[in-house]
Amino acid sequence: MLEKYYIITFASSTFAMSAKFILSSETGFRIIPLPTEIDASCGLCLKIEYDQFENIYQKIIENKIEFERVFICELDEERLKCTILTMRQQQ
């Protein structure tokens, strides 16, 4: 079964943790370890449910949360494929 979701990466885990804190009243997202398909380094990222992306992304922009990249990911038969959509937002 194909699962689609969005991933937002950050410059460091600290930014990911602040995003988690700022978005704590929202649903449809969670912090996960950075998938190795995106980057082999150790880090945290935001995983956003496909149908919740618009809402969460808007909150990220409104709150000026610094991120690096946005990916659309497809998980099919244990194979994860992520495509970059947007580059960084920095204050």
Partner 1 sequence: MEINAVGLACPKPVILAKKHIRSNPSQALTIYVDNEIATQNLTKLALQLHLHAKTTKLSNDRYSVEISPTSDSNTNSEENTIFNIPDNENTCKIMDDFSEDYIVIISSDEMGKGDELFSKTLLEGFLYALCEQDLLPKYILFYNKGVTLTTINENTLKDLKSLEQKGVEVLSCGMCLDHYNLKEKLGVGSITNMYRICELMSKYRNVMPC
Q: Specify the residue, 33 or 58, whose C-beta has the smaller distance to partner 1.
A: 33
Q: How far is the CB of 35 from partner 1 (least distance, A)?
A: 9
Q: How far is the CB of 33 from partner 1 (least distance, A)?
A: 4
Is residue 85 a contact residue for partner 1 (CB under 8 A)?
no
Q: Which two tokens stand for residue 59?
A: 């909150």
In order, the DSSP letters of 6-67 are EEEE-SSHHHHHHHHHHTTT--SEEEEEPPTTT-SS--EEEEEEGGGHHHHHHHHHHTT--B
Pattern 22-61, binding to partner 1, x per CB under 8 A? --------xxxx----------x-----------------
Residue 17 as a binder of partner 1 (CB under 8 A): the answer is: yes
Which of 2, 21, 25, 41 touches partner 1 by CB under 8 A? Answer: 21
Q: Which residues lie below 8 Å from residue 21, measured CB to CB, with a gap of 6+?
A: none
Residue with tokens 């979701």: 5
